[in-house]
Amino acid sequence: MGTSPSSCSIERTVEWVDTDAAGHQHNSVILRWAEACEAQLFRDLDLPEYFPTAPRVQQTVNFTAKLYFGQRVLTSIRVERLGEKSLTLAFTTEGLDCDGAVASEAANGNVTTAHVAPGALHSSPWPALLRERIVPSKD
């Protein structure tokens, strides 16, 4: 994933709490890292109003390799599609080697949110400011 105004990457370390009984990352940690990356993206875009108005309507995670306690990881997220009322973000989590280079992809997937205005019960079009600041990736 390249860097653009609508993408973001964060590094983390697999902590003990992030592992399961088999000794590798727990499946839920991948979504936590994707959400942390999403939060950073919307801070970078100066759109804090996104979060209270963007419930998840779908999440998909494809696990491709294991990560272990103490390993450094890189999670990247990008805007894949901006619809009238929904937004799809694509993400990857990659294990890094001791030099900080990507060793393997551990997971990939997407998250789709819908715009639900404060107090509303149904989705509605994204506000103009959000539409102006978000540019879907051309990947």
Q: What is the pLDDT of residues 11-46, one digit of tens each?
A: 999 999 999 988 899 999 999 999 999 999 999 999
Cut 0.85: pTM above it: yes
Identify the CATH class of 7-133: alpha beta
Q: What 3-state class would DSSP assign to 96?
A: strand
105 burial level (CB within 10 Å; 0-12, 13-18, 19+):
middle
DSSP assignment of 19-51? B-TTSBB-HHHHHHHHHHHHHHHHHHTT-GGGG
Cα separation, 82 vs 130, whole angstroms: 10
pLDDT at 72: 96
pLDDT at 137: 64
Q: What average pLDDT does the segment 58-65 reach?
A: 97
Cα separation, 84 vs 40, whole angstroms: 23
User: Tens digits of per-residue pLDDT, 90-101?
Assistant: 999 999 998 989
pLDDT at 22: 86
Residue-range domain boundaries for the chain: 7-133
pLDDT at 3: 45
Structural tokens at position 104: 């393997």
Where do we find the tokens 């419930």? 55
